[in-house]
Amino acid sequence: MKKILVIHGPNLDLLGEREVNVYGRVTLEAVNEKLKQISKKEKISLKIIQSNHEGQIVDAVGKAKKNGFSAILINPAAYTHTSVAIRDAIAAVNLPTVEVHLSNIYSREEFRQHSLISPVATGQICGFGAESYYLGLIAVCKLIKK
């Protein structure tokens, strides 16, 4: 069974509580539950992590191939705009990677409108709320089943 690493970046543990006008009321637990349902239907295995720490995310990405993952689904959150380290880790592991965001980062504050991750990701889905994750997982599944 193919394995996908799902990474939720900083502050995503606060989904449903923080800035509900931007991120909605869905909780991270609800997002994860739906991702698990999709993975079961697609016959793939998921490992889901959430971290507020850049180094932990870099370590998880860097070890992904060694740990048998076929692809990565990542919402780098605020690190999207600042982390060369996460960008370099994604480039180094050379796994299909889909970047997702709940909000449309291109319609937000100017500093949020640039992704350091997208140039090394296979694709990006943003602006559809929690649906961005579900569409991203389906996309990743299609990439690894080719």
Which residues are catalytically annotated? 23, 101
Q: Measured over all CA atoms, what is the biggest interatomic distance in the chain, rounded to whole angstroms?
A: 41
Task: Report pTM.
Answer: 0.94
* Residues 63 and 21 sit within 8 Å (Cβ to Cβ): no
Q: Determine how many CB atoms are found less than 10 A away from the CB of residue 109.
A: 8
pLDDT single digits (tens) 95-142: 999 999 998 888 777 877 789 999 999 999 999 999 999 999 999 999
Range of the domain at 40: 3-144
Dihedral angle of Cα 108, 109, 115, 116, to the nearest 10 degrees: -170
The number of domains in the chain is 1
Considering just the CA atoms, what is the radius of gyration of the chain in Å?
Answer: 14
> What are 98's strand-pairing partners?
73, 123
CATH code for the domain in which residue 123 is found:
3.40.50.9100
